[in-house]
Amino acid sequence: MDGESCVKKAYEFILNSDFEQAIYWFEQAIAAEPLNASYQHKCAVSCARSGKWSKAHQYAKQAIELEGNHPEYLYHLHTIESRLLVSSAELKLAEEPSRYLDALPLLQQAAELDPLSFEAFYLLALTYSEMGRIEDSVVNAREAIRLNPGHSAARRLFADVNRKRRMMRRRVMGKQQQKD
């Protein structure tokens, strides 16, 4: 079967929400035409939708290797890499004790790669808050809320760190007034 026929079969399965079969048919298309970057990209998208991030990363990288100047392929690769970085950071934050300093650069890079990643900004806000870096926490919590206004935990975090920031400013102003 030629690559285009395999892609048509993949789309049939996507329409039925059967992403496993869609991936299978995209992989058949890739086997038929391994130098077709479009097939690699389409397979990466289906893998990402199925939560198969490592496989999605593999296909997205191959699409870029074949056609590196394609902005859509590059954007998708960056979103996948961002998601993988967030997952790595989550593992570091879940350790006892949490490894905030190890998670922080991963989350920062994730936010740079995907400026629409709610998870990256929300975890940055949480991490900065735990580290006592309230100003940085406020900035990232605000961005998380901008990306997902209905997320109640992000709204609570923003309110909490904003309150802490106001209290810190009052203390600083009180100390300055005592000096004068």
- pLDDT tens for 115-168 read 999 999 999 999 999 999 999 999 999 999 999 999 999 999 999 999 998 888
Record the pTM. 0.87
Locate tokens 């967030």: which residue?
Answer: 86
Tell me the C-alpha distance between 122 and 147, whole Å: 10
CB 108 within 8 A of CB 124: yes
- pLDDT tens for 77-123 read 999 999 999 999 999 999 999 999 999 999 999 999 999 999 999 99
